[in-house]
Amino acid sequence: MEDYMDKIIIENLELFANHGVFPEETKLGQKFLINMELYLPTRKAGYSDDLTESVNYGEVSHFVTEFLTTHTYKLIEAAAEQTARAVLLHFPLIQKLKFSIHKPWAPVGLPLSDVAVEIERGWHKVYLAFGSNMGDRRKYIEDAIEELRNLEDCKVGKVSDILETEPYGGVAEGAFFNGCLELRTLYTPEELLEKLHAIEAHGNRERKMRWGSRTIDLDILFYDDEVISTPELTIPHIDMANRLFVLEPLCEIAPYLWHPVLKKTVLQMKQELKGRKDIVLFDLDGTITNSKEGITKCAQYALKAYGIDEPDADKLEFFIGPPLKNTFMEHYGMDEETAVAAVAKYRERYHPTGIFECSLFDGVEDALKSLKRKGYRIGLASSKPEESCRRILEHFHILSYFDEVVGATMDGRIDSKYEVLQETIKRMHIYDTTEAVLIGDTRFDVSGAKEAHMDCIGITYGFGTKEELQEAGAKAICDSIEEAAEYIERL
C-alpha cells in the first residue's frame, strides 16, 4: 500500500449505539468514542482551498455515526472492520484509514476506564495476469474481468491488450490468450486468492495438471511491494521473469513497476528476457512501395494548376518522403497559404487515382511474414496521410501484418517524420525507444528516428542515396528488405 504523508485526524467522536454480546447492550445501548486518521493527498486542496479536492471530515463523522447507530454487532472488532470498509468504499479519496472504537462503559464487572480496538485498513495496488486456451478464450477472459468489476472490494484499472502466445511448460495444447490488469482492492492477498479461485471455478477451470490447458487462469503478480512465501501463495509471482507472455502485457500497463526481490523494473526484465530489439517500424513510400509514378504524376498535376510545367518525372523525386507542404514551399517558393492549396490540388488527383499507381518492392511481404512469425511487433510510420496508408496496405493485402498504422493527419497536427514517430510511440506503448528500429529510405527517416531517440536502418533500393543515408547517420545500410530483416534479427 502506498504510504501517504498527509492525513486528517478525527478524535473522540462520541455516539450512542447498540453493540455488545449482552442483551442489555443491544437493547439499552451505550457510549462509544471513535478516532480516525484518514490518509489521503491533501496538497491540491491546500493550494486551491477547494473542498472537492479533499474529504469533508464533517461528512465522514456523520457517515460513521449513522453507520454505527443503524447497524448492530456483537463484537467491537466487527464494528471496527465493517465501519472502516464502509468509509473506504464511500470516500474514494481516502487511501488508508486508521480506525479505533472505544467502549468506556464496557460491562465487564470490573473497574476500567476504557477498552478499544484499533485497526488499519486501506486500498492495495495489485497486478494480475490472466490467460485462457480453451473454448471461447476471449469470452472467458471478458467474463472473468467482469466478475472482478462486480466485486465491491475491487476496482479494476488498466487492462492490457490481449496477446496470443504459445503454451508454456510443454503440457497444454492450443495457443493462449494472455494479458494483465491493474487492480485496487481492500482484500488481503489470501482473500483475493480465494476470490480469484472462485472466479476460475465459475469459468469451469479444472486443476488437473501443472501448466495444463485451462478455460481461465488468474494469477497474482504483485501485491503492493509485499514479498510473501507460503505453501498457498508466492508474491511476487515466482516465475514471472521467465514468462514473456506475462512481461509483454504487464509492460504495456506498468513498465516501471519495481520488482522488490529482483530489484528490476518490468521493462528491464522484459528486455533481459528478449535480449533484442522487438519493435520494427517501416516507412511506406520508397521502403514498402515504389510509389514514384503516383506521387510524381500528382505533383505534375498540382504544379500545372499554378502554371508550372514539369514534364520530367525523374526530377520530381524530391516529393517522395517529406511533407508535401514543405516541398512546395522549399522547391517552388510558395508561401504557406499557396502551399496548402497546392497540397489540396495534389490530393484531388491522388485519392481517386494516384494512390494505387504504385507497387510492392520485391521481398516485402516475405520479410513482414518472417518478422511476424518470429514475434516482432510491426508498425507503419509514414508522412503520408494515415487513411491513404491503410488503403494502400489493404490494396496489397498486407495490412494484417501491422500492429499499428500511423500517418500524417489531414489538419497538419501530425506532419513531420518525428511527429509521426512520436504518435507511433504513444499508440504502440513504446516506453523505451531503444527497443524499436525504423526502416526507411531517406534522410528524413534517419533524422526523424534520431530525433525520436531510435535507430534507423537505411535501405538503398528506395529514393534516397547511400551517401545521404550515411551522412544522416543511419545505424546500418542495406541493399534489400531481406538484408534489413536479417540485420534486425542480429541486433
Query: CA angle, corner 482, sides to 480 and 484, nearest 5?
Result: 75
Q: Which of 97, 6, 98, 2 is nearest to 44 (CA)?
A: 6
Has 27 been annotated as catalytic? no
Residues in CB range of 237: below 8 A, 6 or more apart? 129, 219, 220, 221, 222, 246
Cα torsion through 51, 54, 58, 61, rounded to 10: 160
CA distances from 110 to 22, 75, 105, 113, 367 (A): 16, 19, 11, 10, 86
Cell of 314: 525523374
Are 69 and 17 within 8 A, CB to CB? yes
Rounded CA separation 165/86 (Å): 41
**Which residue's C-alpha cell is 526502416?**
439
CB atoms within 10 A of CB 109: 6
Q: Which of 43, 61, 36 is nearest to 5 (CA)?
A: 43
Residues in CB range of 255: below 8 A, 6 or more apart? 265, 266, 267, 431, 432
Q: From the candidates 103, 125, 270, 384, which is the catalytic residue?
A: 103
Gyration radius of the chain over CA positions: 31
Cell of 287: 521502403
Long-range contacts of 12-19 (CB under 8 A, 24+ apart): 13/61, 13/64, 13/65, 15/64, 15/65, 15/68, 15/69, 16/69, 17/68, 17/69, 17/72, 18/69, 18/72, 19/68, 19/72, 19/73, 19/74, 19/75, 19/76, 19/79, 19/103
Query: What three-state secondary structure class fits 403?
Result: coil
Percentage helix, strand, coil for the chain under 3-state DSSP, each rounded to 5: 40, 25, 35
Residues with a known catalytic role: 103
